[in-house]
Structure 1
Amino acid sequence: MSKPMIAAEADTAFDDLARRLATRAAALATAQAETQALAGRDDEGRWRRPDLVWPLFAKG
């Protein structure tokens, strides 16, 4: 009787992990795309933008 409960908890934990990883991957992809766009325009300001240099450590 306890096995279905353990499986349900494992599924929930995996879903939470997958959701957090997907959120982090989206943040990295967004920062990378913006960095490449700025690099294409030779905009050196991209190195002074913390949201592009450290996309996973957003303030707030």
Structure 2
Amino acid sequence: MSGGLIEAEAEVDALTVRLTRRARTLAAAYLKSRVMAARTDGRGWRSASLLWPLFTKG
């Protein structure tokens, strides 16, 4: 009976790690886009890592 509970906790922990990584990626892209906007740098809209931060490689 406790084996199922342990597996559920492990799945929740893995989900937490994945969501935290995604949140950090989004936050970094948002911060970078805000910095570029403040500098009136027009390259931001051409950067795939800023447009789709969760779907780019690297």
Same fold (TM over 0.5): yes
Runs of 4+ in 1 over 4 A off after TM superposition: none
Give the alignment's TM-score, normalised by structure 1: 0.92
The residue aligned with 1:17 is 15
Query: d(CA) in 2 for partners of 1:15 and 1:59?
Result: 24
* C-alpha displacement of 1:59: 2.1
RMSD: 0.9
1:7 to 5, 8, 30: 5
Task: Look up the SS of the partner of 2:57 in the other structure.
Answer: coil
Please identify the structure whose Cα radius of gyration is greater: 1
Identity rate, percent:
40
More helix by share: 1
> What are structure 1's unaligned runs of at least 5 residues?
none
Query: d(CA) in 1 for partners of 2:32 and 2:21?
Result: 17
Give the alignment's TM-score, normalised by structure 2: 0.95
